[in-house]
Structure 1
């Protein structure tokens, strides 16, 4: 499966671009400006998030107040900013979406989603408090016992995959990093 370039105009000079393989030994189609020669590269976006868990094993989920998938449940996550590490971004998103304070743990999953040009990274996190103050992107932040997770109401496959792997690992007392390709 190949990602199709979406750039239509050069960011340097504003001219329409052509989509072709550059003559510099590259092997992928790029947006190339025929006027100034600038080659545009499109790279995946990183989505960073947490699996926030209480000491007694309940998991924090957020009900989305934005599209896509308004009204569906998700782990707190969002796009990484340029000036932060992946774990800093995951902590920021958890604070922004749930108003939750966490102790950051280890990396849990790296999920490539080439169809949409994204890589999702989820960290384990321990909730420091059960007091939440959801931000504008969240209708509700709620703790769930694993048996009560609303599987049919989860927003994204990356979230359901991460939660299922997390619960499987927890049941087996295994700690590992999951590298997953969702095609």
Structure 2
């Protein structure tokens, strides 16, 4: 950030009184600009013994598979965000269930929230951000082509829980990936 969104003056980085982190502060009008983590919200949508996955048509991870998910918008609940993202990416209608995973991804300042959901029908297709959309049984999941570690972790929890016949809420924090 170079300029204050309140008055347009150049900002400086400093630790304001009462804060513990450096912030963008406007010396002209005194506005403190907070930059907070982004919420990525999605759905693990089920149909019988299969899970809905989308093959990404956008970066990052173009061509890789993921659950329908994306950034939460202002003025919506997390459950509404899960349903909206599923509609946008898979043109699918879902009944949103309980929050299933909450995964902190601090090295990119994100929190990933994935809800369990039920597909309402089989009327789905690739949306603008998807190359393809398909239902997968566990044995058919393209594990080596899963776009994000948080999605792989969510899927593994899901299939483990399903085998046990016991559903649990899962929370985790992901460390940065190893350097290539």
Q: TM-score normalised to the size of structure 1?
A: 0.92
Q: Which residue of 2 aligns with 1:170?
A: 162
Alignment of 1:87-126 (within 5 A): 87-126=79-118
Q: Which residue of 2 aligns with 1:131?
A: 123
Alpha-carbon distance, 1:22 to partner: 0.5
Alignment of 1:1-183 (within 5 A): 7-23=1-17, 25-55=18-48, 57-183=49-175
Alpha-carbon distance, 1:131 to partner: 2.4
Alpha-carbon distance, 1:69 to partner: 0.9
Deviations 1:55-77 (A, max 9, x none): 2x111100011111111100000
Runs of 4+ in structure 1 deviating by more than 2 angstroms, as ranges, are none
Separation in structure 1 between the aligned mates of residue 174 and residue 9 of structure 2, nearest angstrom: 36
SS in 1 for 2:99: strand
Q: Which runs of 5+ in 2 are unaligned?
A: 176-180
When structure 1 is superposed on structure 2, of 90-99 and 13-22 the one drifting more is: 13-22
Separation in structure 2 between the aligned mates of residue 127 and residue 134 of structure 1, nearest angstrom: 15
Separation in structure 2 between the aligned mates of residue 144 and residue 179 of structure 1, nearest angstrom: 24
Q: TM-score normalised to the size of structure 2?
A: 0.93
Deviations 1:69-106 (A, max 9, x none): 11110000011111210001101111111111111111
**Count of equivalent residues:** 175
Alpha-carbon distance, 1:8 to partner: 2.1
